[in-house]
Chains A and B, each alone.
Chain A
Amino acid sequence: MGHLSVTVLAQQPSKVAMLPTKSGFVARRSLLMGSLAMLQVANPRRALGRNARDNHDEDLEFEMRTMQLFESTTRSVVAIQDLDLSSNVAAVDMDDGEIQGIGSGFVWDRFGHIVTNYHVISKIAKDTSGKKQIKVVLLGLNGDVDSYNAAIIGLDASRDLAVLKVQENLFRWLFTFFFSLVFKIEVPESSVLRPAVIGSSKDLRVGQNCYAIGNPYGYEHILTTGVVSGLCRQIPSPSGKPIFGAIQTDASINAGNSGGPLLDSFGRVIGINTATFTRRGSGTSSGVNFAVAIDLVRQVVPHLIVEGAVSSSRSVERGVLGPPRYLSLP
């Protein structure tokens, strides 16, 4: 295995173009299908269903599907930024500092826990000057962008995972508190939080589509697509120990979407975008990219949240991932 590294790249957000409709009939059908799909999508906990279509509409439908998937999951993907206060010594206000986008993450639950890669925040985690603050940027309910402070809850360098928790700032908190007092309604604690729908990586098949979403700047989502290229791969972790059961994909994974989710066609998270294979010094992706499998993440993250770290190591993998799984003869 060669030198695996995550490299910093500037990525243009890719916009999926609308296909011109072929005929009025098709347009009406697609609109109906589209709106039906939108209705289903409104409840994020339900996986996207499928109706029977004929091949004629398949390409148009694939594009609509991709767009809907992106729109429904985009609010769960957050930007993780590093606010460096050390550049401005006299700063009193937390917002006076240099903000640098360092990666992506996604919302794990309604309590405000954010899952990302360890390597995305490792520099801040090791920083002792107290002059660095992690900021998490979410898309709000009405499309506006909100930035929150985040604290590190759990770290696992051996699986390249980290858990953050967003903290509301004082003024926003006071506002919602008085709002609920005055109007006597319960303001849901996490109305801006849209937890991602979690899937499973054990029934993945090589060849199925996958979508990597990132949010490197907080308002510009990036979507890359590809197929599952291989399963049960072994990749190095920041601690040096290998991560087992990684998903290989040819969807581009780079510094912008690192830490963000890898989704299947149903909008479920099947992995965390983690690394790309680069030849030493080139810094460009080669089409050989990796994501940590969601089954491992789902086993480890609750412990990271509650305890801050995982007590035992290898037993977690064996219980979750099983022996390397391949195919049976046709």
Chain B
Amino acid sequence: MRALAARAACENASHCHARAVNSRRAVGAGMLIFGFSLPTLPALALGDSTVTLEDVTPPVAPRGDLPPSEERIAKLFENNTFSVVNVFDTTLKPELNLTGSVEVPEGNGTGIVWDKDGHIVTNYHVIGSALSKGLGKKKPVARVSLLVEDGVQKTFQATLVGADKTKDLAVLKIDAPEALLHPISVGKSSNLKVGQRCLAIGNPFGFDHTLTVGVVSGLNRDINSQTGVIIGGGIQTDAAINPGNSGGPLLNSDGKLIGINAAIFTRTGTSAGIGFAIPVDAVSRVVPQLIKYGKIMHAGLKIQVAPDIVAKQLNVKKGSLVLSVLPSSTAAKAGLVATRRGIAGNILLGDVILAVDNLSIKNPAELAKALDDHEIGDQVVLKVQRDDKVFDIHVELEESLN
């Protein structure tokens, strides 16, 4: 509904034509003599006819140059925003709810231009829907929008190159001309300090190329990623990160990539000032492998462990219960025992892994994370509980099952 119409007439005629202090005097004198009503406008009178348009159009105050610190951040954004892209999972359909407002699906996220070949890095969970549908490599999984000059966005079909669930990363490829690709400059996360400034660029709620600024709030955090795994070494920041920022860059004040925004801690679903980014050192290890081999070889054991629910039912409260062991694996050779059925049909529990190299393990996610920190071929010592005995097993790590 437009603004209310009706323009009310002024109550006191003399008031309408005079201005400034003089009018007050004239009216005041008139009031004292003739009556006792203040020149007021009735409650919903619209329009003030005592003034002209020029009277009420203030001049625009000029400004000087921006202060150096603001100029730096503005330039940082301008230089790096072209490396940030919009990623949309094509297997998702936007839901229109009854109020008419469109719920932005989780598949709308951010990505980073990695190199001039058109590789785009984003989070695994941003294209999680396409990945769970089992779309193979080289199949189109997403639409990627690049920012070109003058605010125009160009959209390209992106194919899947490789994905790593344990680090919540995925690499896509688009067929775009080199002139449109502006790869991000990669920094280091090993020398980050709490308190240093960081900038996040992303597409929260569909508002593309949004800049939020904050500081590094904490280091070495465990990120509970949406893929269900725990990612270690996470960078915590208070730059506002929201759904849609996933897969986008976290930059330091030199404009170098220090992390990829992946998760937030929130009770409301939106930013509460606690955001997490995957450190760039982990990204730099994973992405070249994904580009070259299409997959990551994770160090681990060829065993299957019980998920939390099953372990609880079998009364295993701490540690990771081994369900099955692949016969030809190093774990089998080391003597790790799997869960099996007894002659009477009852369940005989297998070994419960309590620690890896003296690092205690509380659940399967921690086991996977502890093993992943090693390389294939490493010798580790597992503290194992079998029936009532607790003892050590030495085993060589190989490629893990998933």
Chain A residues at the B interface, C-beta cutoff of 8 Å? 1-3, 45-47, 49-50, 58, 62, 65, 108-109, 111, 113, 125, 130, 149, 151-158, 165, 167, 170, 173, 177, 180-181, 186-189, 195, 197-200, 203, 205-209, 226-230, 233, 239, 248, 250, 264-266, 268, 277-279, 282, 284-288, 298, 301-310, 324-330
Contacts and interface: CB of A to CB of B under 8 A. Distances in A.
Interface stretch (B18-26, B154-162, B215-223, B296-304): B18-26
16 contacts: A1-B205, A62-B69, A109-B58, A155-B3, A157-B3, A186-B21, A207-B211, A226-B212, A229-B211, A229-B212, A239-B2, A250-B240, A286-B204, A286-B240, A287-B204, A306-B52
Given A111-B56, A233-B207, A305 B51 contact: yes
A61 to B, nearest CB: 8
Interface string B232-271: 0000000111100000000000000000000000001111
B76 A288 contact: no
A153 B21 CA distance: 21
B17 to A, nearest CB: 15
Contacts of A206: 74, 77-78, 81, 209, 211
B63 A310 contact: no
Contacts of B273: 287
Given A199-B63, A208-B74, 4 more contacts: A109-B55, A149-B40, A152-B45, A288-B240
Closest 6 CB pairs of A and B: A287-B240, A308-B46, A326-B151, A286-B270, A308-B47, A207-B74
Contacts of B50: 111
A186 B21 CA distance: 7
Interface stretch (B97-105, B323-331, B365-373): B97-105
A306 B56 CA distance: 8
Contacts of A149: 40
B366 to A, nearest CB: 31
Nearest to A61: B67
Interface residues of B, number: 82
B28 A177 contact: yes
A306 B48 contact: yes
Contact of A306 (B47, B208, B213): B47
B70 interface: yes
A226 B79 CA distance: 20
A288 B242 contact: yes
Contact of B45 (A1, A151, A282): A151
- Which DSSP category, helix, strand, loop or mixed, fits chain A's interface? loop
Contact of B46 (A153, A170, A188, A301): A153
A282 to B, nearest CB: 4
B128 to A, nearest CB: 20
Contacts of B213: 207, 226-227, 250
Interface in B66-111: 66-71, 73-79, 81-82, 99, 101-104
Pick from B3, B205, B210 the residue with the most CB of A within 10 Å.
B3
B154 to A, nearest CB: 13
B43 interface: yes
Contacts of B63: 47, 199, 203, 264, 266, 268
A230 B210 contact: yes
Given A45-B61, A286-B271, A302-B53, A3 B99 contact: yes
Nearest to B153: A326
A168 to B, nearest CB: 8
A306 B49 contact: yes
A310 B104 contact: no
B346 interface: no
A50 B65 contact: yes
A1 B102 contact: yes
A55 B128 CA distance: 45
A330 B59 CA distance: 33
Nearest to B206: A1
Contact of A239 (B1, B66, B208, B269): B1
Contacts of B66: 205, 208, 265
B149 interface: yes
B248 to A, nearest CB: 13
B102 A298 contact: no
Nearest to B51: A111
B38 interface: yes
A277 B205 contact: yes
Contacts of A49: 64
Contact of A157 (B2, B20, B75, B150): B2
B36 to A, nearest CB: 9
Contacts of B81: 206, 327
Contacts of A187: 21
B358 interface: no
Contacts of B2: 157-158, 239, 309
B62 interface: yes
Contacts of A157: 1-3
Interface in B1-37: 1-7, 20-21, 24-25, 28
B211 A268 contact: no
Nearest to B212: A250
